[in-house]
Amino acid sequence: MTILGGNFYSSKNAKSGDVIEFVDAGSWVETKWKNDDGTPKNSYQITVKVAGKEYTMNLNKKNREALIKEWKNNTDTWIGKRASVQIKETEIGGEDKLVIRLTPIIEKATKKAEPSKEPPTPLEMEKIDEEIVEEEWNPEA
């Protein structure tokens, strides 16, 4: 499969502060670019949603490593997770280029209400005792 175009999310249309959501697990695809030995370059492409719109994103090694460090390498589990976007300037092939850097957003788990650690009051104890006695004594049984 060769990808020649499409609706891509890249440093050309991304902006720092964007939040992306992963829509699928992505896959390796053959691109139109070639390695030094003439074989096709492969790119990891994944579908992301930004401000309600879906895009294909080439996930470079640095971004893959950042996401894997936080979420592990099973990209099926990335679906629905979010990452923040920063646009950075870096040197690639001797030229300064703008690139996307992703930071996983860690969703805070909702904390379950903990049971009270306070002992029951004397009145509560009295009620508990009455309930136990009623359960144990049943003349109808």
pLDDT digits (tens, 9 = 90+) for 32-81: 989 999 999 999 999 999 999 999 999 999 999 999 999 999 999 999 99
Cα separation values, 61 from 45, 102, 108, Å: 12, 11, 27
What range does the domain containing 31 cover? 2-104
- pLDDT at position 121 is 76
Lowest-pLDDT range of 26-30, 61-65, 132-136: 132-136
Tell me whether residue 86 is in a domain: yes
Tell me whether residue 116 is in a domain: no
Query: Rounded CA gap, 101 and 60, in Å?
Result: 9
79 residue type, one letter: I
Per-residue pLDDT band for 118 (boundaries 50, 70, 90) equals confident
Instruction: Say yes or no to pLDDT of 5 above 60.
Output: no
Tell me whether residue 67 is in a domain: yes
- pLDDT at position 122 is 77
Tell me whether residue 115 is in a domain: no
- pLDDT at position 104 is 97
Domain count, the chain: 1
Tell me whether residue 71 is in a domain: yes
- pLDDT at position 139 is 56
- pLDDT at position 54 is 96
- pLDDT at position 131 is 64
Lowest-pLDDT range of 17-31, 55-69, 110-124: 110-124
Cα separation values, 64 from 24, 85, 91, 135, Å: 14, 13, 19, 61
Tell me whether residue 88 is in a domain: yes
Tell me whether residue 61 is in a domain: yes
Instruction: Say yes or no to pLDDT of 112 above 90.
Output: no
With a pLDDT cut of 90, the percent of the chain lying above it is: 67
DSSP per residue, 78-110: GTT-EEEEEEEEEEETTEEEEEEEEEE--PPPP
With a pLDDT cut of 70, the percent of the chain lying above it is: 79
Tokens of 65: 């490593």
Tell me whether residue 137 is in a domain: no
